[in-house]
Each structure stands twice: as C-alpha cells, then as structure tokens.
Amino acid sequence: MAVTHISDDSFEQDVVNASRPVIVDYWAEWCGPCRQIAPALEELALELKDRVTIAKMNVDENPRTPIKFGVRGIPTLMLFKNGEVASTKIGAMPKSKIKEWIESQIA
C-alpha cells in the first residue's frame, strides 16, 4: 500500500479509528525537508504495509488537525496507536532512522 493522503475531515476515520498504527507526516509543498523525506516514506509505506499505515497531511490545506496536535514545524511525523499520539519526530531524517524509529514503536 502506498502513502495515504488524509485531511482534517478524514482524520478521525483514517487515524483515530484505524485498526493498526498510523504514521502521520505533516508536510507542505514549499517545505524542502518535507520533499526530501517523501521518497523514503513512500518506500517505507510499501516495506511496512502489513504493520503500519503511513499517511500524509498537507498543513496548508488542512490547518485544524496540526493545530490540535501542536505541530509547530514541518516535517513532523506522529505515530498514532489506538487513536493516541505514541511518539513524535520533528525534522528530516534518513530513511534508516525513520524505519528504526517506526519499528521501535510498533514492535
């Protein structure tokens, strides 16, 4: 499964009510570091498809959810388990570090 694109309106269904962990990538078109990690997230979405969902939320198009969760910088990655934030990472990281973080949280 590829990366899922979510919105303020679909957040509850796609993330809060999800049956497995969800990584939400808060990003924007103009954000260089966001574009830098996008290919890694696409690859990880395929590699980890049976264990976690990776979702992207454009903060310019969907302002309510980032405000609700206190997103102050992008890219911000939040891992949701059972509808709650379990872990957060801010800033660009290499694919290996993103994968290591995800696997340490969903093991």
Answer whether 58's CB lies under 8 Å from 27's CB. yes
Residue 1's pLDDT band, with cuts at 50, 70 and 90, is low
Residue 107's pLDDT band, with cuts at 50, 70 and 90, is confident
Answer whether 63's CB lies under 8 Å from 8's CB. yes
Q: What is the pLDDT of residue 47?
A: 96
Superfamily name with CATH number, domain 4-106: Glutaredoxin (3.40.30.10)
Show which residues are catalytic.
31, 34
| Residue 85 to residues 43, 48, 54, 74, Cα–Cα distance (Å) | 23, 19, 14, 17
pLDDT in tens, 60-103: 999 999 999 999 999 999 999 999 999 999 999 999 999 999 99
Partner residues linked to 80 by β-bridges: 22, 85
Q: What does the alpha-carbon distance between residue 49 and residue 10 come to, in Å, rounded to a whole number?
A: 20
Single pTM value for the model: 0.96
